[in-house]
Amino acid sequence: MHPHSCTHACSRAAPAPLARAPLAVALCAFALSAALIGCDAEEPPVEPPPSEPIAESCTGEIEPGPSPLRRLTRIEYDNTVFQLLGDNSRPGRAFPPDEEAGGFDNQAAALSVSPVLAENYQSAAESLAATYAARQVERLDGCAAPVDRETCAASARAFVQTFGLRAFRRPLSAAEVTLHTGLFAQGVALGEGDYDPQAGLSLIIEAMLQSPHFLYRVEFGRNPDAAPGEVVELSSYEMASRMSYLFWNTMPDQVLLDAAAADSLRGAEQIGEQARRLAVAPRAREAVRNFHRQWLGFDEIEHIASAGKSPAVYPDYDEHLLPLLQEEAEAFVEHVIFDGEGTMQALFTAPYSMMNAELAGFYGVSGPAGEAFEPVELDSARYAGFMTQAGLLAHHAKPDGSSPIHRGLFVRERLLCQIPPPPPDVVPEAPLVDDTLTTRQQYAQHKEDPLCAGCHVLIDEIGFGFEQFDGLGRFRETQNGQAIDATGSFHSTVDIDGPFEGVVDMAHRMADSTQVRDCVVKQWFRFGHGRAETEADACTLDTLSLDFEASGRDIKSLLVALTQTDAFRYRRVVAPGGE
């Protein structure tokens, strides 16, 4: 490392990414830019969790924060058309990927509808409508042969109301009923013969599936006459949608719709009661998987296949393992939350995982005989929860080795909720690295540079804790014939600073940490509300943390608690065209 180039870089300090920066650059540059903001001092370098006591952040005023218009994600679209139409073809998989921010695909601010997506909405609507209309037309009075036009038109009108209520997740206005019955009347002339009810029906469905009231979760609150700036409660139908998309990533079921029709989704108690039902339903499992898939990057495990692993270094690498590794991670989370301890601590520290025969063979442990995934007890001195699963560790690794930088960054960003300051706009060049040393020894070169050392400890001192797991994510005791040193340390955390001995020790510290707890809360908040937290959400977040703690850090309880917050139950009225 050239001190000169470092100094130069510092003088032009400005943001740049660390997340995927290569080893040496990231090390040094991180040190540099962090040094600029006092990295060597006692101050934590990055956004500290809220430190105000609850009493101070909650003023007694209801503060919901922003409530942006939320578009269905691809997953939500597929789930919704499954429930609405019984269609399991998952057309959303062919859509362009949802724009992603902060690790989640459902963040309102990032989502956009490009011409290609509008085109996809159109073709999906056409094909879904064609299938569904063909089935439904037989059931409509007067629409099946022999056709009675008057009766059929009345049936179509009833269809608009009943189907529309489920598609828009609320009753249609009179104008909307008129609009869609009008489409039916025009549509019947555009099929076979001069009166084709199926074509008319199809037109209704095509239009509804492209309507903003289907593709977005439109909310105005209970009181449409409230003045801008006022805080309003959500209507029961709006609440039904919020709840079903939170817990199930799909449209409300009949129970929720009935509750909405009875206007009985008001107040913390009624909402909480429904929330507890939703949280334990089978459909919640997939939504909870979806959250973890994104938060912990389980969906990125398959990306390992893109570059693969070096056959020379990892002859055991086989890309057919990747789906198994992802399933292990997701099945583990599901098992812990729904069938096991249910807690955040167990996610981090449980001395078991979910494996089938092939995966147990890969890990070299005894496991089930078949293809089904079952709990497998593991050596608690080596393994701890998701933290030691091979999919995650192989993903945060290089094709030919481990990567303390990537692993440390994963912990820092996703689990501690601290985005490190990036390398400056112009970074120093990476120095030569001696490939024959252990990974840790290669890093030591940079540690000697005082300019780099100040901050690189923030990331790779965490990453070192994973060194007993190689680039395939498998346990090892030696590298290049030398014993692995897996000691590491936390720096600039709220409550877990200090050394630890390997990943198991690290995981246990994290499981008990308030910073990690608050990070879990924050991630669920972002996923649940489709947005990043703002200053206005301080009370909501602090309350969530308190409730989460009181429940023994039970994840399902956290989900229920999410429905009790100001941010979930209220919205602030925005003037048309206003901020």
Partner 1 sequence: MILRKPISRRALLRGLGGAAVALPFLDAMRPRLARAQGAQPPKRFIVWYTPNGTVPANFWPTGGERDWQLSPILQPLERHKADINIVGGVDLISSLSGPGDAHQKGTGQCLTAWPLQEGTFPGDAGLSAGWADGISIDQKVAENIAGDTRFRSLEFGVHVDGSDVKSRIIYKGPGRPIPPENDPAAMYRRVFGDVGADDDAGKQRLETRRQLVLDSVLGQYRSLHQKLGREDRLKLDAHMASIGTLQERLGKDTVRFEGECQPLNIGGALDPMRSSSIPMIGRLQMDLIAMAFACDLTRVASLQWTRSTSEVVFNWLGDDIREGHHPLAHKGDEDRVKVAQNTRINQWYAAEFAYLIDALKAIPEGDGTVFDNTVILWTNEQAKGNNHDRMDMPYVLAGSAGGHFETGRYVTRDGRVPHNHLMVSLLHAFDIDEDVFGDPQFGSGPLTGL
CB of 85 to partner 1, least distance (A): 17
Of residues 428-467, which lie at the interface with partner 1 (CB under 8 A)? 428-432
Instruction: Using the minimum distance from each CB to partner 1, give the nearer residue, 184 or 352.
Output: 184
Q: If binding is defined by CB under 8 A, does position 141 make contact with partner 1?
A: no
Q: Which residue from 91, 252, 422, 465 is in contact with partner 1, where contact means CB under 8 A?
A: 422
CA dist 381 → 57, 475, 481 (Å): 41, 11, 22
Of residues 375-404, which lie at the interface with partner 1 (CB under 8 A)? 398-400
With CB under 8 A, what is the number of residues at the site for partner 1?
93
Please answer whether residues 353 and 389 qualify as being in contact, where contact means their C-beta atoms are separated by less than 8 angstroms: yes
Residue 200: CB atoms within 10 A of its CB come to 27
Instruction: Using the minimum distance from each CB to partner 1, give the nearer residue, 498 or 576.
Output: 576
Instruction: Using the minimum distance from each CB to partner 1, give the nearer residue, 203 or 347.
Output: 203
For 459, the enclosing helix (H) or strand (E) is helix 450-463
Residues 50, 52, 56, 62, Cα dihedral to 10°:
0
Those residues with Cβ within 8 angstroms of residue 363's Cβ, 6 or more apart along the chain or in another chain: 355, 390, 474
What's the one-letter identity of residue 99? E
Q: If binding is defined by CB under 8 A, does position 210 make contact with partner 1?
A: yes
Instruction: Using the minimum distance from each CB to partner 1, give the nearer residue, 8 or 276.
Output: 8
Contact characters 46-75, partner 1, x per CB under 8 A:
xx------------------x-xx-x----
Strand partners, 375: 354
* Contacting range for partner 1; rule: CB under 8 A; set: 15-23, 140-148, 252-260, 280-288: 15-23
Q: If binding is defined by CB under 8 A, does position 530 make contact with partner 1?
A: no
Of residues 175-194, which lie at the interface with partner 1 (CB under 8 A)? 179-180, 183, 186-187, 190-191
Contact characters 82-121, partner 1, x per CB under 8 A:
------------x-xxxxxxxx-x-xxxxxxxxxxxxx--
Question: Can you tell me whether residue 9 is helix, strand or coil?
Answer: helix
Of residues 550-579, which lie at the interface with partner 1 (CB under 8 A)? 574-579
CB of 368 to partner 1, least distance (A): 30
* Contacting range for partner 1; rule: CB under 8 A; set: 159-167, 201-209, 270-278, 343-351: 201-209
Question: Can you tell me whether residue 224 is helix, strand or coil?
Answer: coil
Those residues with Cβ within 8 angstroms of residue 108's Cβ, 6 or more apart along the chain or in another chain: 68, 69, 70, 71, 530, 531
For 116, the enclosing helix (H) or strand (E) is helix 115-136
Instruction: Using the minimum distance from each CB to partner 1, give the nearer residue, 1 or 265.
Output: 1
* Contacting range for partner 1; rule: CB under 8 A; set: 205-213, 258-266, 329-337, 547-555: 205-213
Those residues with Cβ within 8 angstroms of residue 4's Cβ, 6 or more apart along the chain or in another chain: none
The closest of 433, 416, 503 to 463, measured between CA atoms, is 503
Question: Can you tell me whether residue 45 is helix, strand or coil?
Answer: coil
Please answer whether residues 476 and 484 qualify as being in contact, where contact means their C-beta atoms are separated by less than 8 angstroms: yes
Of residues 23-42, which lie at the interface with partner 1 (CB under 8 A)? 23-25, 37
Alpha carbons 384 and 467: distance in angstroms, whole number:
14
What's the one-letter identity of residue 542? D
Of residues 304-333, which lie at the interface with partner 1 (CB under 8 A)? 305-308, 310
Instruction: Using the minimum distance from each CB to partner 1, give the nearer residue, 219 or 547.
Output: 219
Q: If binding is defined by CB under 8 A, does position 299 make contact with partner 1?
A: no
Instruction: Using the minimum distance from each CB to partner 1, give the nearer residue, 105 or 328.
Output: 105
CB of 304 to partner 1, least distance (A): 11
CB of 558 to partner 1, least distance (A): 21
For 197, the enclosing helix (H) or strand (E) is helix 197-209
Instruction: Using the minimum distance from each CB to partner 1, give the nearer residue, 182 or 267.
Output: 182
Q: If binding is defined by CB under 8 A, does position 207 make contact with partner 1?
A: yes
Q: If binding is defined by CB under 8 A, does position 281 make contact with partner 1?
A: no
Those residues with Cβ within 8 angstroms of residue 432's Cβ, 6 or more apart along the chain or in another chain: none
CB of 526 to partner 1, least distance (A): 9
Alpha carbons 67 and 220: distance in angstroms, whole number:
10
Instruction: Using the minimum distance from each CB to partner 1, give the nearer residue, 66 or 171.
Output: 66
Contact characters 227-246, partner 1, x per CB under 8 A:
--------------------
For 270, the enclosing helix (H) or strand (E) is helix 267-280
Instruction: Using the minimum distance from each CB to partner 1, give the nearer residue, 279 or 322.
Output: 322
Strand partners, 572: 231
CB of 429 to partner 1, least distance (A): 3
CB of 455 to partner 1, least distance (A): 12
CB of 456 to partner 1, least distance (A): 15
| DSSP state letter for 110 | T
Please answer whether residues 346 and 434 qualify as being in contact, where contact means their C-beta atoms are separated by less than 8 angstroms: no
Please answer whether residues 151 and 197 qualify as being in contact, where contact means their C-beta atoms are separated by less than 8 angstroms: no
The two structure tokens encoding residue 253: 């079921």
Rg for the chain, CA atoms, rounded:
27
Instruction: Using the minimum distance from each CB to partner 1, give the nearer residue, 55 or 94.
Output: 94
Q: Which residue from 303, 482, 550, 552 is in contact with partner 1, where contact means CB under 8 A?
A: 303
Q: Which residue from 531, 553, 556, 569 is in contact with partner 1, where contact means CB under 8 A?
A: 531
The two structure tokens encoding residue 274: 């429904």
What is the maximal distance between C-alpha atoms in the chain? 88
